[in-house]
Amino acid sequence: MTLPQDQGPAPQSAPERHDAVDVIRAKRDGKPIPEDALRWLVDAYTRGYVMDAQMAAFAMAVLLNGMSRDEIRVMTEAMIASGERMSFADLGKPTVDKHSTGGVGDKITLPLAPLVAVFGVAVPQLSGRGLGHTGGTLDKLESIPGWRAALSNDELFAQLRDVGAVICAAGSGLAPADKKLYALRDVTGTVEAIPLIASSIMSKKIAEGTDSLVLDVKFGSGAFMQDVDRARELARTMVALGTDSGVATTALLTDMNTPLGLAIGNANEVRESVEVLAGGGPADVVELTVALAREMLALAGRPDADVEAALRDGRAMDVWRAMISAQDGDPDAALPTPRETHTVTAPTSGVITRMDALPFGIAAWRLGAGRARAEDAVIHAAGVDLHVKPGDEVAAGQPVFTLLGDDASRFERALAALEGAWEVGVEAPAHTPLVLERITA
């Protein structure tokens, strides 16, 4: 009979270099965090060593006390280091991306990516889905029959080489630390912390590997940052992060007090985007598309590109059709249409003085155009079509907007969201610029 041998104590894992409590206390007390400790915190949280409760305490301390420029840079670099980093160096042409902080009716990515690609610049637009009142680019494009958001890296590179523009889902390998931290911020009241917003956005964009980046940072009732000064602070922080990481970065500060364009939803926003690519479309959508295209092309070394001509002569439309087809979509297919509609008319004659973006975004969401949870499905035909915008004259009984949906029982809650959100008056509102400011390093 053989007795079991004493194997001795179990092997010990290597000791951790820092203690999460020390990092939390330092930020709580407004003291600088050593670079090595901050990199360790992000890595240890990604590995599961630092607990959610500890990271939540750190996030709250950041919300209350902020972070220095160096701390934000280090945290962003640590989040990038948690996953893979892409490179487009072998494409043989410059790459430029655009990121919007989101808004109501913001479909600019759809006409913008093919427009910029006309000029020999690659546009790898890794996009997301909507949550709440702000729509997701992928949700809009999935209105197109057959179109798919998921591409392999080989497919992504081939499409950039052959077509020049890609709009697709970001892979899970980019900045996984951000995905974990974002979910925690969402349930701990720390989403609004500007250092954490900036590092979240920029960790993914820098890891994406583009040469340059243009940020569309929105302010106003329908924006994530409603206050213009906080939006400006966020823009400056992100431009600094991109610059410090070697990515040429600029930002435009844009107004989101009124919905962008006339379509709010998914399929209807695709239709409006195609109108822009055909040389038409609402003036504000065209204005912002052109402004962002000029900014992107200037960073990519094409400052003299005539973007308006590319919209007029069909070149941007040609790239759009090739981009949709390359991802198995049918650019000629009919888009979903709603089974039910409800039109609201002007109670009196006058001029539209106000249309607050946020309530219109909420109405579209309640109709099914958005989702309350990440796993919810969207109704691609749902949304709101505007017939007029602030400054337009209306006659009593003239249509102001139409609710779109597949279930008429949703109209009541959508209309409730729009109570007091718009008005007819006697005097046109003062003109406000769509692009308020350009922010550079």
Per DSSP, the residues of 181-209 read HHHHHHTTT-TT-HHHHHHHHHHHHHHHT
Q: Terminus-to-terminus CA distance in the chain, angstroms?
A: 77
> 185 catalytic, yes or no?
yes
Catalytic residue among 129, 140, 204, 302: 204
Can you tell me the distance from the alpha carbon of 52 to that of 209, in angstroms, rounded to the nearest whole number? 29
> 99 catalytic, yes or no?
yes
Catalytic residue among 97, 106, 178, 211: 178
Helix (H) or strand (E) holding 57: helix 52-65
What does DSSP say about strands 248-255 and 212-219: parallel, antiparallel, or unpaired?
Answer: parallel
Angle at 320 between CA 154 and CA 128, to 5 degrees: 60
Nearest to 44 by CA among 55, 60, 32, 30: 55
Can you tell me the distance from the alpha carbon of 125 to that of 58, in angstroms, rounded to the nearest whole number? 32
In the chain, count of helices (H) and strands (E)? 16, 13
Can you tell me the distance from the alpha carbon of 290 to that of 435, in angstroms, rounded to the nearest whole number? 11
> 87 catalytic, yes or no?
no
Catalytic residue among 200, 203, 245, 273: 200
Catalytic residue among 27, 73, 99, 380: 99
Look up residue 372 and give its DSSP letter: S
Catalytic residue among 27, 73, 129, 185: 185
Question: Active-site residues: which are they?
Answer: 99, 178, 185, 200, 204
